[in-house]
A and B are shown apart, each in its own frame.
Chain A
């Protein structure tokens, strides 16, 4: 029997449109940052790394990881494989965003702190989160049974979500080189309006790109799962 792949193809097409919009948006944010946002007096042009580093970190910590954890909790509760599929897809995209955080951070650190890396609490915990995500993908690749795979990987992803508040609070808990938040804090953001505007546009665009990547990757996995189910039947 030939499976009906129309709905899955529609998800792929929707994801593709959103992803392309997101990628174009990232280009616009880079242009906005370089051309239409003032240069910070003490840090110079290197400070403009902020407009890709912070949105990538925001998506990793406050969008991708919480949604991965939520989907994992829902899978453990309802045993619906759609939640497991979403968690796996969101964790994959979170790894990509986390990789950008971990590569752009040291490039920014070198001219400002004088070193590529320091075992500061925030940097170390973010690296732990990345390794945890790598472990998550390795586990999923190793376990064949979908129910066991979903259960084990859900527990790992929830452990990743538990790391998020520690990553956020690490700059208050331990003295280090990483600066404290300048937007996500109880008082008003301490940024000039032009810089804040570029940052907020950046965060919106990176969320759009995350949504596009997740939708596209979900559609691909859906096609595979539908085909696999049809083959097994």
Chain B
């Protein structure tokens, strides 16, 4: 029976998602500002 540690997987996926999405949003904001 595998250990019950799914919350760590969820936490890691959320952290990675937040880091990548935050950076992408910052890029989009900068791109929009430069293209005005």
Contact = CB atoms under 8 A, between A and B. Distances in A.
A, B bound:
yes
Contact of B23 (A16, A43, A96): A96
Contact of A49 (B9, B17, B23, B31): B9
Interface residues on B, range: 20 to 34
Given A43-B3, A49-B8, A12 B20 contact: no
A43 B12 CA distance: 15
A44 B34 contact: no
**At the interface, is chain B mostly helix, strand, loop or mixed?**
helix
A217 B16 CA distance: 20
B15 to A, nearest CB: 5
A26 B20 contact: yes
A30 interface: yes
Contacts, number: 93
Interface of B: 2-6, 8-9, 11-13, 15-17, 19-21, 23-24, 27-28, 30-31, 34-35
Contacts of A99: 19
Sorting the interface of chain A by its residue count into under 10, 10 to 19, 20 to 34 or 35 or more gives 35 or more
A220 B19 contact: no
Nearest to B19: A100
Nearest to B23: A96
A9 B6 contact: no
B3 A111 contact: yes
